[in-house]
A and B are shown apart, each in its own frame.
Chain A
Amino acid sequence: MVRAALSTRRRIGQGPRPLAAFVPAVSVVLASLLAAMPIVTATGWFPDFGFLVLISWRLLRSDPWPAWWAAPMGLVNDLFTDLPIGFSVAFWSATMLALDLVDRRTMWRDYWIEWVLAAVLITIDEWLQWRVAALAEARVPFLAVVPPLVISVCVFPLSAWFVSRLDRWRLGR
């Protein structure tokens, strides 16, 4: 077998798309904007799309965007979903920090570890949203936020698959 057969098929002139460095951040903002979809739900069991895409990118790559971008992206998420302003700013920055620390500790990564990590982060996210809602005089039993939690954890693989496809597209592979 010639060595060329082992390398990926790459045509001449094929490379990263223009503005490839901004694709991850733009995709997170667009996912936050999904909250503007004209669907009125009575239950609110949709996943937190912006957060799902954020952790999908961060678990796929260690540097999808400069670290401090997490704060402005969180602000956009707060404005367009109905979270109190500042919640995602703080929580998304903290997520980036936590995943940096996790990167130092884990010896290897495979799909199951990523899913468990994502499940833990989503659980913390839902729990904090529930705590903050309780502070704003909307104390519901925690059982009420379990269904959206389970749905979000189940949707994470879809989001991870979508993000990996997007990553290949932006790098022109």
Chain B
Amino acid sequence: MATARPGWSRRAQYGLFFSFLALIAGVIVGLILLAISILAPARFADIRGAALDVTGPVAGAMHEVTATVEGVFTGAGDYWDAAGQNGELKRERDAMRREILQARAVMQENRQLKALLQLREHEARTIAIGRLVGSSFSSPRRFAILSAGANDGVRVGMPVRSPEGMVGRVVDTGAFASRVLLASDRANIIPARLLRGGIPVISQGRGDGTIDVRPLEVGRNPFRRGDIIITSGTGGLYPPLVPIARVIKLDDDGAVAVPLADPSNISFAIVEPPYEPAAEVESP
């Protein structure tokens, strides 16, 4: 240690010593803050919200620019092979028209049956509509920043969906922006079921953009490639019958699925109130 002495100056020696002390103090303060933010995440809600309000609008403004540039390029690409696309779209439209007619009939029958059973109907209410303007870059957690905040009525714990499917739930709110825990985060567990057959499953993120799905009953693996996973509404936070993911790969006792609402290219995200109001969760 003698070699590290910065000469004979007392002042320089003390300076070095105090900078060591300051660093050790920094480590200790950081560890205390970390312990608080793991054990009591709500404690830092205000300061996190303030930081969101700084980044959210910036990211939102820049998002408009990138979206416009992308739109110009994909718009130009749509003119390519327009005749082929036209024919394909017409075929799709005809197929869809037939399916819509069937669906209408099923819906009418469903309404009659529900009236018979006198089930309480939940109407889907929209709290706010925003865009996903940013995401966590480097941590194993998957968060996204939504361009709607407490001023729009967004509260912690509300489910977020897009027309394509389930996106996640709100974990932090600022005044103009909020942070969404994506369905592909490991800590986001969604009660779900298979669209084909209605077998109850659990959907849990894998932290890398994909989702693990496991059947509730151990035994035969019920999944097939291409299966659609939808929310079941169990637990009361997420509304039922919202598509979550499509199975792409089977593993030994479950399957890997990709989210249908790909956070990198969904246009709008819709914030809804918790399905059962009693199920509001406070901790992320």
Whether A148 contacts B138 by the Cβ 8 Å rule is yes
The number of residues on chain A lying at the interface, defined by a beta carbon within 8 Å of a beta carbon of chain B, is 57
- CB pair A94–B48 under 8 Å, yes or no, is no
In the complex, A104 Cα to B4 Cα: how many Å? 6
CB neighbours of A110 from chain B (8 A): none
**CB of B179 within 8 Å of the partner chain:** yes
B140 contact from A36, A96, A133, Cβ within 8 A: A133
CB distance from A99 to the nearest CB of B (A): 10
| Given A35-B55, A86-B36, residue A70 in contact with residue B26 (CB < 8 A) | yes
CB <8 Å contact, A133 and B186: yes
Q: Flag if B22 contacts A68 (CB, 8 Å).
A: yes
Query: Chain A residue with minimal CB distance to B264?
Result: A40
Contact present for A36 and B185 (CB under 8 Å): no
Given contacts A37-B59, A38-B134, A67-B22, contact A83 B263 (CB under 8 A): no
Residues of A within 8 A of B1 (CB): 104
B134 x A138 contact (CB < 8 A): no
Q: Indicate whether B38 reaches chain A with its CB closer than 8 angstroms.
A: yes
- Distance between A116 CB and nearest chain B CB, rounded to angstroms: 21
If the complex has contacts A104-B1, A130-B140, A136-B38, are A36 and B134 also in contact, measured as CB distance less than 8 A? yes
The B1-28 residues at the A interface (CB cut-off 8 A) are 1, 3-4, 19-20, 22-28
Which residue of the partner chain, among B22, B37, B187, contacts A137 with CB atoms under 8 Å?
B187
The size bracket of the interface on B is 35 or more
Of chain B, the residue at the smallest CB distance from A136 is: B38
Distance A89 CA – B25 CA, assembled complex (angstroms) = 10
Residues of chain A with a CB closer than 8 A to B24's CB: 93, 97
A29-B54 Cα distance, complex, nearest whole Å: 14
> Taking the nearest CB of chain A, how far is it from the CB of B75, in angstroms?
19
Q: Is the CB of A79 within 8 A of B141?
A: no
A85-120 to B contact mask, C-beta < 8 Å, 1/0: 111111111101100100010000000000000000
What per-residue 1/0 map shows which CB atoms of A51-82 lie under 8 Å from chain B?
A: 00000000000000011101100100001111
Interface segment among A15-23, A41-49, A161-169: the answer is A41-49
The answer, yes or no, to whether A123 is at the interface (CB within 8 Å) is no
Whether B140 contacts A90 by the Cβ 8 Å rule is: no
Q: Which residues of A contact B73 (CB under 8 A)?
A: none
Most A Cβ at <10 Å: residue of B25, B30, B142:
B30
- Can you show 24 pairs from A to B with CB atoms below 8 A apart? A35-B137, A36-B55, A38-B134, A39-B137, A39-B264, A40-B132, A40-B263, A41-B135, A42-B263, A48-B138, A49-B138, A70-B23, A74-B26, A81-B137, A81-B139, A86-B35, A87-B34, A90-B27, A90-B28, A94-B23, A133-B140, A136-B38, A138-B187, A140-B208
Question: What are the nearest 10 A-B pairs in CB distance?
Answer: A90-B30, A86-B33, A89-B30, A42-B209, A93-B26, A86-B34, A71-B26, A138-B186, A68-B22, A38-B63
Beyond known contacts A38-B63, A85-B44: 7 more, CB 8 A cutoff: A38-B60, A39-B135, A92-B30, A104-B1, A130-B140, A136-B141, A140-B186
- Give residues in B with beta carbon < 8 Å to A: 1, 3-4, 19-20, 22-38, 41, 44, 47-48, 51, 54-55, 58-60, 62-63, 66, 132-144, 179, 184-187, 206-209, 259, 262-264
